[in-house]
Amino acid sequence: MPAPDTLTPADRTATARPGAKPQLSGLGRLYAVVAWIEAFTWAGLIVGMVLKYVTETTEAGVWLFGRLHGGAFVAYVVVALIVALKHRWGLWRTFVALAAAVPPLTTVVVEWWLRRTGHLSEPAQIPGSPERRP
């Protein structure tokens, strides 16, 4: 075990509680927040479409959440690409994260998966070698 002063935040968490998941990195936290915002605006847009096309009561939900979801979608794609590059996700994880932006509420499922598998934590840093996670 490394000396206590050389432990990373993720190592400290893992050694403090056996079986503990590593903490999210700053970019991982940003990805999680944007994924939840994208899902929330999707849900709002769906409610707005029901109000507009099913009950035919108002177009305000589509007007508001259409714009919000458009911005959230673009932000999610940009953040997902940045995190994929910085955390060295590889093509498969990057494709899954980007494809999750299309079906409603799927970004939350992918965020949960990436969090549980440790891919939103700081990538492993080995001096002198650009190691990739499996």
Could you state, in order of their start, the residue ranges of all structural domains in the chain? 25-116
pLDDT, mean over the chain: 83
Q: Both tokens of residue 128?
A: 């002198």
Who has greater pLDDT, 20 or 122? 122
Is residue 126 helix, strand or coil?
A: strand
Which residues are registered as beta bridge partners of 129? 126
pLDDT value at 10 more than 80: no
Side-chain-side CA neighbours of 21 within 13 Å: the count stands at 13
Q: How confident is the model at residue 2 (pLDDT cuts 50, 70, 90)?
A: low
Counting every residue written for the chain, the total comes to 134
Q: What is the pLDDT of residue 34?
A: 96
User: Shortest CA distance to 65 belongs to which of 83, 46, 52?
Assistant: 46
3-state helix/strand/coil string of 66-94: HHHHHHHHHHHHHHHHHHHHHCCCCHHHH
Q: What is the pLDDT of residue 9?
A: 47
Q: Give CA–CA dist 132/88, Å, rounded.
A: 6
Per residue in 19-63, pLDDT (tens digit) is 556 788 889 999 999 999 999 999 999 999 999 999 999 899 899
- The values of phi and psi at residue 129, to 5°, are -140, 130
> Whose structure tokens read 């992918």?
110
Q: What is the pLDDT of residue 123?
A: 74
Helix, strand and coil content of the chain, in percent to the nearest 5, comes to 65, 0, 35
Q: How confident is the model at residue 130 (pLDDT cuts 50, 70, 90)?
A: low
pLDDT value at 104 more than 50: yes
Q: What is the pLDDT of residue 24?
A: 87
pTM of the predicted structure, to 2 decimals: 0.76
